[in-house]
Chains A and B, each alone.
Chain A
Amino acid sequence: MLQDVQTGVSITGADIATAAKYLAAGFVMAIGSIGSAIGEGIVAAHALDGMARQPEMEGALMRTMVVGQAITESTGIYSLIVAIVLLFVM
């Protein structure tokens, strides 16, 4: 048990565990979303390249892009689920 000298509030292990939980949830979302954001950006960039080169393929490219982005997003979604489990379940 730690003792804060100025305020006299004692910090127990449970407080530290709660703080660690919130910190971990924040880090999970912050770090976990980097990868999927970069991935989705790459997908969109290449789809735009393709559309600029062949405007008649726009429909097919758009469909493939949306599906590809939704699949790329799943790693971000996994980190969201881990964050939700950290916050509400643990």
Chain B
Amino acid sequence: MLEHLGEKLILHVTIGSFSFSFDLLAIIMSWVVILLLVVLALLLRRGLRQRIEEKPSRVQAALDALMNVLKGQLTSNFASERLARTMFPFISTLFLFVLLCNWISVIPYFQSPTQDLNVTFSLALLVFVMSQVFAIRLKGGRKYLKGFIEPYPFMLPLNIVGEIAKPISHAFRLFGNIFGGAILITVISARLIPLVLPAGLNAFFGLFVGAIQAFVFAILAVAYINVAVES
């Protein structure tokens, strides 16, 4: 029953002297999540087409509330209002994507894409590149490079390692939480108690931990970008 636990559906592609391996299930699942988000956005957008004098429709009221929550909880932590407005689409998309990725494992036969390290690592790298690019753009190249030898020049290796460690811990935190939960659910429902308990475990690890980890992922992205831009 547990033999399939470590197995993955891997596609090997060789082009010339390069060989690539793709984890098919993670790719398919993340595309499912992307399609779900796009379809939801297209469906919900139809409720928004109205003049401003009319009273808002139900969809609009709900979306306004959601946007206010996202704005208040996530991007209000940015140092400046302008940066918050620039980063809001990116951060909220990241949050919604990770949230849906974590939540989709509740559906039977579906697997969270975030229980694959490659997915979380690419998201963390995205945040890393974003923070570096914004730091260079807002502070200028000289000041950006000078930030690495502060407070003392001999701190340079430490600063570089500290900067590289950020995406690694960012990726492993999400991956470990989701993967650990998935393993626990699989082991308990296959070996120990296959009745009622797995539903509760799914609710806890899939919905509760998934939501908290998505929130933490987004808020850490905010913190990393903020620190890179500020210091």
Contact = CB atoms under 8 A, between A and B. Distances in A.
B176 interface: yes
A81 B215 CA distance: 21
Interface of B: 5-6, 73, 169, 172-173, 175-177, 179-180, 183, 212-213, 215-216, 219-220
A66 B229 CA distance: 25
A77 B183 contact: no
A77 B176 contact: yes
Interface string A46-90: 000000000000000001001100110110011011001000100
Given A63-B73, A67-B219, A70-B216, A77 B180 contact: yes
A16 to B, nearest CB: 23
Q: When A and B form their complex, which 6 residue pairs have the shortest distance between CB atoms, in order from nearest?
A: A77-B176, A70-B216, A88-B6, A74-B173, A80-B180, A81-B176
Interface of A is mostly: helix
A53 to B, nearest CB: 23
A81 B176 CA distance: 6
A71 B216 contact: yes
Interface of A: 63, 66-67, 70-71, 73-74, 77-78, 80-81, 84, 88
Nearest to B5: A88
A70 B212 contact: yes
B176 A67 contact: no
Nearest to B219: A67
B177 A67 contact: no
5 contacts: A66-B215, A73-B177, A77-B172, A84-B183, A88-B5
A74 B175 CA distance: 10
Contacts of B172: 74, 77-78, 81
A36 B132 CA distance: 30
A67 B215 CA distance: 8
A74 B172 CA distance: 8
B173 A70 contact: yes
Nearest to B180: A80
A17 to B, nearest CB: 18
A88 B172 CA distance: 17
Contacts of B73: 63
A84 B216 contact: no
B216 A78 contact: no
A21 B169 CA distance: 25
Contacts of A67: 215-216, 219-220
> Which of B6, B176, B180, B183 has the most chain A CB atoms closer than 10 A to its own CB?
B176
Contacts of B219: 67
B212 A66 contact: yes
B169 A74 contact: yes
Contacts of B216: 66-67, 70-71
Given A70-B216, A74-B173, 12 more contacts: A63-B73, A70-B173, A71-B173, A74-B172, A77-B176, A77-B177, A78-B172, A80-B176, A80-B180, A81-B172, A81-B176, A88-B5
